[in-house]
Every structure is written in C-alpha cells, then in structure tokens.
C-alpha cells in the first residue's frame, strides 16, 4: 500500500522519538470516575465493560444486531491435500437479512492425524487462492483492490494471483506443529472501500438507512464480526477444537484480529502482526501514522465518532494498550518489524507493556520491562512481543514464534 499523494498531514509524519509528546498513559486499572481496580472481579464487572463500550462506541463502532449463520455448505473437501499432510475443506457461510444474502468462504487446512485441531484463523488480502499454490482453491468473485504485480485489474481476482502470497502463510510449518489454518478473503465480508452499500453492513440497516450511524461499525468491526461467525462454524465442525482458535492478522487485518479477540472471549489467543495505528500502537505518541491520517485515507475503517480525535489525541480518555488489556487473561502476541516505522514499533511494544498490569491481576506474565528487546530477540510470556528485522510483512520468522508461543500458552 503505497502513499501516492502527499497530504500536508502526511508530510508532517513524525519519526523522531524526541518529538513524541509527553502524555499521561491512561491507567487500565482506574475507572473513568477515578476508582482504582484491584481485583479480577471488579475488573470484569466494572472496568472491562466500560473500556469495552468506549472502544465500541468511539473507535470501531457497534454492530447493530446479532446475525447468525443462516446455513453453511462444504463446497469441497479433500483428505489428501498438501502432499497427503492435510485435510482441505472449503466451507461457505451464508447470512440472510433485509432480503439480502452475504456469503463468504473459509479455506481450511487441517493436520491429518489429529482428531480435533487447534486452528489459526486469519484473513488474507487478495483471496484464499493467493496463500497457496494448491490449484483446488477457489478464486473469489468478490471486489478486490487492484494490484499490478498480482495481475489484479478491474477489481477482479484471476488465476494470475494464485500463490502470490505463499510467503506470508507458513502452511506446512503450521500443519507440522499440529495446528490447522483457516483463512478467509476479507473482501467477501466487506469490500475494503469507502462504500457502505455493500458487504455485511447492508444486511443490517434499518429502513432507509444507507450509512452506519456515528457510533456504528466501520469495516474493521465488520471484518472482526466475520471472524466471530467463523468460530460459530468451528463449533459445529468435528475436525476443529473450537476452544483453541487463535485470531491472527497482519496490518489492517491485525487491527481486526485484536478487535475480534476483544469482542469474543472464545478466541483462545490473539496475534497482532504489525497492526500499527488503531491496532496495537499507542495513538497518543503521534509517531508514524496518526489518527487524522488514517481516518482521512481510510474513512470507512473506524466509526465516524473516532474522527473526534483527529489531531486531538490528548482528548482520548483511552489508548490502545487498554484495548490489548481487554484480551486478558488470554494469550496475546504483539509483533513489529524494524523497517515498519509507519506502524510505530515502540508504540506497539509499550502498549503490550502497559497492558501487562491487567494480566498481573490474573497472575499471568507479560512484557515486564520498558526496555525494548533487540531485534530478533523475542520475549515470550502470556503476553509476547518481538521486533524482527525487515519490513511490513508476515515472515516465516513471525510464524515460528507464533507457533512456539501457541505451544507454550494456548495448546
């Protein structure tokens, strides 16, 4: 995703640590009314809900109502995928409301000799067929962002892009470690453009509504919703251990995995890979991407109320470490990349650190130190963190670490 035109805000992007404003880190364990939280019970009864509602009404937006799976269809299945290593399934979920239907397809690779497999669930950017060379994977007919190097023109996915993103999905490593992989093309749940007439939003409008209300869901919340509904399906699939589903996501889809993990406690673990602004990174640092920039370039991602804080981060009564804290006590992995300064690696690290105090309430360990680890020296705890060499991407190194952490804290 390249920045084509330089808006004045973008040219002001701060990459200088000495120019990070001093700010007070909102205390996860102090209620908005100033009461100190000391127990799990008080956290779960008072503080967690009030923080959750703040993020829901002012950041990602509320989902107007529950909509359950209407039906699902196993479109295709093969017990000898990946050189006989895996069972492949392509399962279509279908939703109906307002006389409209939404369908999206989950591609599943499950380790063959496992009765009920734990799974990593994550969206892909350009279709399920891009994550593997496997010819049997269907090509989505949903709208896609054009991408010259993947041969995507006229917003249409074709055979040209098959396997183009295998580098981001360590499928064999995942299978060999005894996990399944479930992936969905995010554009099937909501096309990633500033248009609210399509995708899941349109199924849940009230009469005459054609845009979410200021406190209603943007695209990130819509994508998160799609992950939650996938877990509903997993609960019905005898090959999957639905109590061991790990939400994974990169970048905008890492913002999505975090919000999914917060919304639904059935996610047994959550991974944020380079999620940056509006994800794991702290907004008040104003380092790299800022709220004004993200809300200007991607006006459909968050709810409209979030605009209140454009160039006005001081006014935010919360910050993203409190979002991470809402995942406690479940295992959480925050990862950054050295060359991904746009996503503010230090802001992602500090967020994991400041969230850790809530994990302490549950006697779990997280990022205890305020000193960032060296590159490629991960810190593994219930809350884990690493910064690796390289750019904004998902690499085998990332997956090796996610698997190690999942083995120790989720499995």
Contacting residues toward ligand GCU, per CB under 6 A: 1, 251-252, 276-277, 289, 294
Q: Whole-number minimum distance, CB 1 to ligand GCU, in Å?
A: 4
Q: Which is nearer to ligand GCU, 88 or 252 (CB)?
A: 252
Q: Nearest Cα to 273, choosing from 369, 183, 384, 353?
A: 384
Helix (H) or strand (E) holding 243: strand 240-250
Tell which phi-psi region holds residue 311, choosing left (phi > 0), alpha (psi between -120 and 50) or beta: left
Q: Which is nearer to ligand GCU, 168 or 244 (CB)?
A: 168
Question: Is 73 within 8 Å of 43 (Cβ atoms)?
Answer: no
Q: Whole-number minimum distance, CB 251 to ligand GCU, in Å?
A: 3
Q: Which is nearer to ligand GCU, 187 or 366 (CB)?
A: 187
| Count of helix runs (H) and strand runs (E) in the chain | 11, 9
Pairing of strands 180-185, 86-97: unpaired
Q: Whole-number minimum distance, CB 209 to ligand GCU, in Å?
A: 27
Known catalytic membership, residue 251: yes
Known catalytic membership, residue 380: no
Helix (H, G, I), strand (E, B) or coil at 411: coil
Q: Which is nearer to ligand GCU, 216 or 348 (CB)?
A: 348
Q: Whole-number minimum distance, CB 129 to ligand GCU, in Å?
A: 20
Residue showing tokens 């799976």: 69
Q: Which is nearer to ligand GCU, 350 or 358 (CB)?
A: 350
Q: Whole-number minimum distance, CB 131 to ligand GCU, in Å?
A: 16
Q: Whole-number minimum distance, CB 186 to ligand GCU, in Å?
A: 10
What does the angle CA 339 – CA 409 – CA 254 come to, to the nearest 5 degrees? 35
Cα separations in angstroms, 25 against 247, 259, 317, 320: 27, 21, 9, 10
Q: Which is nearer to ligand GCU, 56 or 348 (CB)?
A: 348
Helix (H) or strand (E) holding 188: none
Cα separations in angstroms, 55 against 59, 73, 133, 171, 335: 5, 34, 39, 33, 22
Burial group, residue 5, by CB count within 10 angstroms (0-12, 13-18, 19+): exposed
Q: Which of 251, 257, 283, 351 is catalytic?
A: 251
What is the rounded distance in angstroms from the CA atom of residue 234 to the CA atom of residue 214?
32
Residue showing tokens 């492949």: 88
Hey, which residues are catalytic here? 251, 392
């Amino acid at each position: 995703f390249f920045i084509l035109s330089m808006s004045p805000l973008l040219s002001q992007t701060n990459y200088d640590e000495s120019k990070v404003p001093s700010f007070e880190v909102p205390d996860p364990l102090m209620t908005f009314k100033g009461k100190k939280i000391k127990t799990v019970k008080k956290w779960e009864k008072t503080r967690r809900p009030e923080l959750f509602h703040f993020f829901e009404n002012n950041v990602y937006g509320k989902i107007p109502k529950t909509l359950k799976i209407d039906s699902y269809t196993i479109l295709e299945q093969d017990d000898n995928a990946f050189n006989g290593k895996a069972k492949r399934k392509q399962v279509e979920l279908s939703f109906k409301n307002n006389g409209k239907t939404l369908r999206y397809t989950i591609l599943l690779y499950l380790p063959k000799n496992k009765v009920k497999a734990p799974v990593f669930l994550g969206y892909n950017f350009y279709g399920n067929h891009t994550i593997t060379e496997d010819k049997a994977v269907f090509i989505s007919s949903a709208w896609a962002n054009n991408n010259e190097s993947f041969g995507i023109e006229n917003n249409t996915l074709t055979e040209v892009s098959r396997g183009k993103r295998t580098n981001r999905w360590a499928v064999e490593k995942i299978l060999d470690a005894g996990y399944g992989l479930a992936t969905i093309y995010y554009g099937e749940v909501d096309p990633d453009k500033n248009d609210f007439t399509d995708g899941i939003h349109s199924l849940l409008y009230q009469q005459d509504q054609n845009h979410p209300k200021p406190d209603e869901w943007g695209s990130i919340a819509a994508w998160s919703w799609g992950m939650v509904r996938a877990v509903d399906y997993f609960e019905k699939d005898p090959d999957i251990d639905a109590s061991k589903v790990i939400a994974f996501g990169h970048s905008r889809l890492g913002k999505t995995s975090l919000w999914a993990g917060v919304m639904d406690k059935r996610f047994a673990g959550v991974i944020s890979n380079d999620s940056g602004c509006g994800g794991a990174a702290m907004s008040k640092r104003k380092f790299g991407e800022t709220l004004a920039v993200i809300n200007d370039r991607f006006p459909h991602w968050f709810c409209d109320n979030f605009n209140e804080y454009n160039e006005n981060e001081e006014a935010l009564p919360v910050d993203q470490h409190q979002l991470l804290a809402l995942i406690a006590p479940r295992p959480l992995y925050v990862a950054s990349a050295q060359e991904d300064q746009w996503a503010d690696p230090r802001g992602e690290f500090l967020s994991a650190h400041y969230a850790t105090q809530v994990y302490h309430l549950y006697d779990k360990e997280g990022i205890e130190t305020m000193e960032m680890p060296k590159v490629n020296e991960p810190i593994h705890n219930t809350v884990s963190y690493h910064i690796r060499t390289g750019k904004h991407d998902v690499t085998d190194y990332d997956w090796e670490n996610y698997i190690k952490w999942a083995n120790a804290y989720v499995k």
